[in-house]
């Protein structure tokens, strides 16, 4: 099986299972997986720790300059580091989730994250997930997928994930957070979340990994003559 050096861009709403699906694709086809949302979460954690964002999401303009000193990078197994500190658990909390969309709407934050993503993208054979990968970061990606799922399924997935990590959110808070993020992500001025015209739609409300794998295998086979 000869796999070309391609970029696969996966975009979609929060908690549609983009990262699980992207990891599945990466391991099935031997690609590197990169989670662009983790970088926005990393910037959010940084802003919180440096007290550059208030409880009501007012962002201190000093954040722009401070980003010059912020080293965010992925380990070879795809975990996010801030300098030499692995920050995976800290970036997945409800506190970070509830402040990440306002941070991700700031143009200089998007430039900062895009420059990191472009550096990784030059390595080829990448699966990247996010909100604007197929529309803005890699508009020439050879394969674009847009993921969606029902609100109920998404909220339940996020809730179960958080409970498994020992957090105790209420289901209502999780639903509210998802809806707020969907709204901000798809209404911001810079590169809002939207489906690229050439993106394949994947609604996985009623799909498990087996069905997802069959779906992507069919798509890869048809598009690149693989398998
Ligand atoms: O996928 P996620 O939930 O970890 O993403 C966190 C936030 O980052 C999400 O609310 C919107 C933002 N994001 C973005 O604006 N553009 C991306 N390419 C990825 C994420």
Please tell me the residue having the least CA distance from ligand 1 atom 16: 131
For the stretch 76-131, pLDDT in tens is 888 999 999 999 999 998 899 889 999 999 999 999 999 999 999 887 789 999 99
Q: Which residue minimizes the CA distance to atom 9 of ligand 1?
A: 101
Q: What is the pLDDT of residue 131?
A: 94
For tokens 């699980």, the residue is 20
CB 99 less than 6 A from any atom of ligand 1? no
pLDDT for the residue 206: 95
Closest-lying ligand 1 atom to the alpha carbon of residue 185: 11
| Protein residue closest via CA to atom 3 of ligand 1 | 14
Nearest CA to ligand 1 atom 5: 37
Q: How far apart, in whole angstroms, are the C-alpha atoms of residue 4 and residue 17?
A: 25
Give the pLDDT score at 108: 97
**Cα–chain-centroid distance for residue 35?**
5
Residue 201 CB neighbour total at 10 angstroms: 10
Residue 181 in contact with ligand 1 by CB distance below 6 A: yes
> In this predicted structure, what is the pLDDT of residue 123?
79
Within 10 Å of residue 134's Cβ, how many Cβ atoms? Answer: 27
Rounded alpha-carbon distances, angstroms, from residue 222 to 21, 150, 217, 218, 225: 19, 28, 8, 6, 6
What predicted TM-score, i.e. pTM, was given to this entire model? 0.90
Encode pLDDT of 186-217 as tens digits. Answer: 998 999 999 999 999 999 999 999 999 999 99
Q: What would the pLDDT profile of 143-191 be if each residue is shown by its tens digit? A: 999 999 999 999 999 999 889 988 888 999 999 989 998 999 999 899 9
Asked if the model's pLDDT at residue 1 lies above 80, the reply is no
User: Cβ(191) to ligand 1 under 6 A?
Assistant: no
CA of 132 to the centre of ligand 1 (A): 9
Closest C-alpha among 5, 9, 26 to residue 147:
9
Q: Are 22 and 127 in contact (CB under 8 A)?
A: yes
Nearest CA owner, ligand 1 atom 2: 37
User: Model confidence over 29-78: pLDDT tens digits?
Assistant: 999 999 999 999 999 999 999 999 999 999 999 999 999 999 999 998 88
Q: Quick one: pLDDT at residue 172?
A: 92
Q: Which residues, listed in sequence order, are joined to residue 11 by a DSSP beta bridge?
A: 130, 146
Q: Which residues contact 27 (CB under 8 A, 6 or more apart)?
A: none
């Amino acid at each position: 099986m000869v796999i070309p050096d391609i970029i696969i861009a996966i975009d979609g709403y929060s908690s549609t299972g983009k990262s699980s699906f992207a990891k599945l694709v990466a391991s099935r086809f031997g690609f590197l997986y990169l989670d662009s949302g983790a970088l926005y979460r990393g910037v959010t954690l940084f802003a919180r720790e440096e007290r550059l964002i208030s409880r009501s999401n007012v962002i201190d303009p000093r954040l722009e300059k401070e980003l010059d000193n912020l080293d965010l990078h992925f380990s070879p197994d795809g975990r996010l580091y801030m300098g030499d500190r692995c920050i995976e658990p800290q970036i997945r909390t409800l506190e970070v989730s509830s402040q990440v969309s306002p941070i991700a709407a700031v143009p200089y934050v998007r430039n900062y994250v895009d420059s990191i993503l472009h550096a990784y993208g030059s390595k080829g054979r990448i699966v990247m997930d996010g909100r604007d990968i197929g529309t803005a970061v890699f508009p020439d990606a050879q394969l674009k997928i847009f993921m969606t799922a029902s609100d109920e399924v998404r909220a339940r997935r996020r809730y179960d994930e958080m409970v498994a990590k020992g957090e105790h959110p209420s289901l209502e808070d999780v639903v509210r957070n998802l809806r707020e993020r969907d709204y901000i992500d798809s209404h911001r001025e810079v590169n809002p979340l939207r489906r690229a015209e050439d993106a394949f739609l994947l609604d996985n409300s009623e799909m498990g990994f087996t069905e997802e794998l069959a779906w992507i295998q069919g798509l890869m086979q048809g598009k690149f003559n693989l398998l």
